[in-house]
Amino acid sequence: MKNTNKNLNSKCCYFILFRIRIIVFIEYLTLIKPIKILVTGYFSSGKTTLIQALDNDAIIIEKKLAHAISEEKTETTTGFDFARVIFLRPDLENELNGELLNEAEYERNQEKYIGWHRQDIELKGVPGKPQFSVIREILSKGCDGVIFLIDGCDINNLPKAKEALDETKAFIGEEIPLFIVANKADKQDFQGGENISKLINEKVIEGSGKTRQGIRELIFNISKMIQKECKKQ
């Protein structure tokens, strides 16, 4: 009888240990999960340009516009944009101290980052034309944070940008952090973040997807907010 009890106890212990191991394993997988950032905004606000500037190996699904709106803007996203970048920090104390690399850049210089904290980030861009609302809704699912781009040189289209912003808010709900960028700040006819902020009554950050101005800091801040802790290299 004593022996049977002992066997039963040790089986119980093994079972509990096994469950703990599974839980720890699942937690480990959650810790190293990439942060998923949605890059959205009205037509031609610069979503694809920003994603390509961060990762020149990004997947871009575009189609020629029937009527090009400028010499530069001849195509529009009809599917999605997808990029993967790696946010590396030598220490977690100094908040803005770190580098944002694409996978190829990281692989070329891996030795430099031994001992650094690594956070993988996936960026998903959406089509901006109003008729692609269904695709935007599908792509909005499961994101951890949102970058909403406004063409900072195109005041005439601000009401349409605002409509797109309301649509995004409805898709993502209130829990997901959303940052609005007055984009194309490198251009001469940029209307200024403060001005755009007043016109749409929202907090706005100035930036340029093309030159990456303000974008690295923004992604750092989103990553910190989302707080999926980094794994050490």
Ligand X SMILES: Nc1nc2c(ncn2[C@@H]2O[C@H](COP(=O)(O)OP(=O)(O)OP(=O)(O)O)[C@@H](O)[C@H]2O)c(=O)[nH]1
Of these, 2, 67, 72, 189, which contacts ligand X (CB under 6 A)? 72
| Tokens 């871009």 -> residue | 60
* Residue 183 binding ligand X, by CB under 6 A: yes
* Residue 48 binding Mg ion, by CB under 5 A: yes
* Residue 40 binding Mg ion, by CB under 5 A: no
How many residues sit in the footprint of ligand X (CB under 6 A)? Answer: 22
Of these, 105, 122, 186, 217, which contacts ligand X (CB under 6 A)? 186
Q: Which of residues 27-46 bind ligand X (CB under 6 A)?
A: 41, 43-46
Beta-carbon contacts of 128 under 8 Å, excluding residues fewer than 6 positions away, are 40, 41, 42, 43, 44, 45, 47, 76, 77, 164
* Residue 44 binding Mg ion, by CB under 5 A: no
* Residue 136 binding ligand X, by CB under 6 A: no
Residue 82 or 113: the one with the smaller Cβ distance to ligand X is 82
Helices (H), 36-157: 47-54, 103-108, 133-140
Stretch that binds ligand X, among 92-100, 154-162, 178-186, 224-232 (CB under 6 A): 178-186
* Residue 140 binding ligand X, by CB under 6 A: no
**Distance in Å, CB of 22 to ligand X, minimum:** 42
| 3 state DSSP class of 141 | coil
Contact by Cβ (8 Å): 122, 34? yes
Distance of alpha carbon 204 from alpha carbon 186, whole angstroms: 16
Kindly state the DSSP code that residue 187 receives in the 8-state scheme: S
Of these, 37, 38, 76, 147, which contacts ligand X (CB under 6 A)? 76
**What is the enclosing helix (H) or strand (E) of 88?**
strand 75-89
40 interacts with, out of Mg ion, ligand X, none, CB within 5 to 8 A per kind: none
Radius of gyration of the chain measured on its C-alpha atoms? 22
Please report, as ranges, the residues that interact with Mg ion according to CB under 5 A.
47-48, 77
